[in-house]
Amino acid sequence: MAKAKRSLIMPYEAAGLQRAAADFVTKCTRADLTGASKDMLLRLKKKVPFYQDDRTTYDFYLNTISDWIPQRHLVQQDLIKISNDIIENCNSELRTREKSGQRESKRHGTYLHPTDSAIIMRDMNSYDAEKSVTLEFKPKWLWQSPTAPPKATRCRTCALRAQRKSKGEKESKTHGVLCPLVISTGKPDYIRDVVTQLVDNPSNYVGTALPRWLADRHATNGTNGQAHDNGPKSRHDLIEKLCHHFSRDTSREKRHGEGYHVLQGLQFLQQRLDKHGILHRQPTSDFLLAMTLRDCSLYVQVHWDSQRVESRLGDLDPKVSKGGKLEQWRETEQSLLDGGWYYAAEGDETCLLSRQARPVIPLQSPASSRRPSCAPS
């Protein structure tokens, strides 16, 4: 029997929080959309060709995403009613900024879409590095593309990164994490490299809080910052916490890190929801959900006082195959196949698959090589 759809705006009504939601909007100003509490953000969407209203987005979050992913692994969202005044105020602010040169010229002429409801979400930014830091990255394709060659030595994400690099395209944040398959293994000796790269890149931090050691290093052009490399709240401390967070526990207790659980769940869903790829089939709702899960963001927040590390997924908007998207997905996949991008160059062991494909040399010392993992091939 089909499950009854949960109705929109219910969480606020049910919890008697409609008043709070109204207060939230009242306290938002044109320059500050975080309300008074600073722990929730109001999300307003621009008027773009693929605009989807917030009721659709929230319905997808509430009735699809929440069925597959536990709440503790999601950035909390709610839908609230708003009046159009706030949109008009914000658009007026954008026009003022355009005139005074404070808005990038490529954004000129794009304004917020009128709406009577909007999503508020937990603010995952960190504002005080002494209390917490937040890193954001896109896990991307945690399972190989179903249409990749069977003997591929690069996963979908590594193949696309290599193709883009060859065209001289800048490394974007969305492809900034080393091989997604590596981090999803949960093997401490594998994930340390990925975690270290994440931690050392200032653009992975969200909010105004850069850890002290990174801020120092930044301020002195990379020549200093060693003083805070050890001890609590240090680079070393952060790397250790994140390595533990993404690690698989091989002991009998099986106390895996919470981040490992999140990535495993995501990997399982990506595999289950898209078994055939998009080259020769029409997109199904499962496929579109898989595409959402291949493009979502992971927010990892480290709370220094409680020692708690949270991993929550956001940017989970529904995907549509209209307006050239379907053709774009197919074209990308076909160009990776045609250009041979699924095969790593000699000596390139960025991708887990290329490490697994390395010929086994008999009598090699185990300490001198990385062992193959059980990750997908």
Q: Which amino acid is at 318?
A: P
> What is the sign of the dihedral through the CA atoms of 208, 195, 243 and 290?
positive
* Rounded least distance, CB 134 to Zn ion, Å: 25
Binding mask 130-159 for Zn ion (x = CB under 5 A): -------------------------x--x-
The nearer residue to Zn ion, 277 or 376, going by C-beta atoms, is 376
DSSP labels, 175-198: G-SS-HHHHHT--HHHHHHHHHHH
128/132 Cα distance (integer angstroms): 6
Least separation, in Å, of the C-beta of 179 and Zn ion? 3
Nearer of residues 291 and 375 to Zn ion, judged by Cβ: 375
> Within 214-253, which residues bind Zn ion (CB under 5 A)?
none
Residue (202 or 372) nearer to Zn ion, CB: 372
DSSP string, 363-377: T--GGGSPPP-SS--
- How many CB atoms sit inside 10 A of residue 252's CB? 6
DSSP secondary structure string, 283-338?
PPHHHHHHHHHTS-EEEEEEETTT--EEEEEE--PPP--TTTHHHHHHHHHHHHHH
Among 82, 206, 351, 375, binds Zn ion (CB under 5 A): 351
Q: How far is the CB of 137 from Zn ion (least distance, A)?
A: 14
Among positions 44-63, residues that touch Zn ion (CB under 5 A) are none
Could you tell me which of 332, 328, 331, 309 has the C-alpha nearest to residue 319? 328
**Contact criterion met (CB below 8 Å) for 340 and 349:** no
Q: Which stretch binds Zn ion (CB under 5 A): 25-33, 46-54, 223-231, 344-352?
A: 344-352
Please identify which residue in 40, 124, 179, 266 interacts with Zn ion, judged by CB under 5 A: 179
Q: Which residue, 191 or 351, is less far from Zn ion as judged by CB?
A: 351
Task: Name which of 287 and 341 has its Cβ closer to Zn ion.
Answer: 341
Residues present in the chain in total:
377
Among the residue ranges 22-30, 176-184, 202-210, 223-231, the one whose residues contact Zn ion (CB under 5 A): 176-184
The neighbour count for residue 227, using CB atoms within 10 Å, is: 11
Residue number with CB closer to Zn ion (126 or 356) = 356
Q: Does 120 interact with Zn ion (rule: CB under 5 A)? A: no
> Which residue stretch of 174-182, 219-227, 246-254, 320-328 sits at the interface with Zn ion (rule: CB under 5 A)?
174-182
Contacts with Zn ion in 357-376 (CB under 5 A)? none
CA-wise closest residue to 64 among 74, 50, 53: 74
Which CB, 119 or 344, lies closer to Zn ion?
344
Residues that bind Zn ion (CB under 5 A): 155, 158, 179, 181, 351
